[in-house]
Structure 1
Amino acid sequence: MTRRKFAAALLASAATVPMWRQARAAPAIPVTLYKNPSCDCCEGYARYLDHNGFTVDVRPTNDLAEISRKAGIPAALQGCHTAFIGTYVVDGHVPVPTIRKLLDGKPDIVGITLPGMPSGSPGMEGDKAGPLTVYAISRDGAPPRIFDVD
């Protein structure tokens, strides 16, 4: 093989790499995230999702508790914000690996929730004080059960 043919072959193969990578890149997953207008940690959580393969539409609201309640999240288990991802509700600062477990497993549930605003959870400042317990909310009104512990 001559140098000219080798260079041409190398350039041709290099030109196909971006198309190959483009074909394998997963499309961003759309998220609609409702939050209190003055909450900064929710903005941090939205950025966290954006950096991890999601496209987030942030919608400030003064009716967050009502949105969570209508989505099926019990008051005692409500998180800092409420997101809708596909057919699921994701309430609070739920880590991306847990969201991916939900989306990949497709369980027959309303969604998942990480209650409160745990320090060190995605979007929250501070050190993580312990494991984050994420609860599954059933469609049939059964008591919430543990979905994942991060």
Structure 2
Amino acid sequence: MASTKDQLLTNLRDAARHLNATDKPELAKTVAGLLEDRGWVLLRMAVEDDRTAKNFPISINKVLHDRVKKASEAAGRDLTQDVVEGLRAFIDGGFSPAGYPRRGTGESGSTTMNVRLPDDLQTSFAEVAEARQAELGYKTTIGHVVKAYLAHKYTEQPAK
């Protein structure tokens, strides 16, 4: 009979092979990555970050939300991944939101998108947003950057 740790390794390897066989290469790569050097360290860091993450509600146009959610799911991602990616891109200087979005008249309403953001990401964003205020011409918010990033990534229309 295999030990618990041997069974864990066997199950992870089998899961990676199964995911590859069922045309889910990104998921297979993630599972296989756990078995690589430092894979468990990265997993532990991710779990710790998730424990410290707090809900962050973002008001977003319902049509935009539905479009980006559908496109994100089709890409095998979830919106929280995309939100974090967009905020990190803004912090690193790789993404700048176009103009300040104004709510249009006759829009289809809004919904709330709830994402879990680590405190350190929110703090970094606040510092960078303050520093980039002159460049952008206004003080941006997490919600604005998120909506602009999602619209940029998944649609051809600017966020409203």
Is the shorter-chain TM-score for this pair beyond 0.5, marking a shared fold?
Answer: no
Specify which structure has the higher proportion of strand.
1
Specify which structure has the higher proportion of helix.
2
Task: Find the structure with the greater CA-based Rg.
Answer: 1
If the length of structure 1 is used for normalisation, what is the TM-score? 0.28
If the length of structure 2 is used for normalisation, what is the TM-score? 0.27
Higher relative contact order (CA 8 A, sep 6+): 2
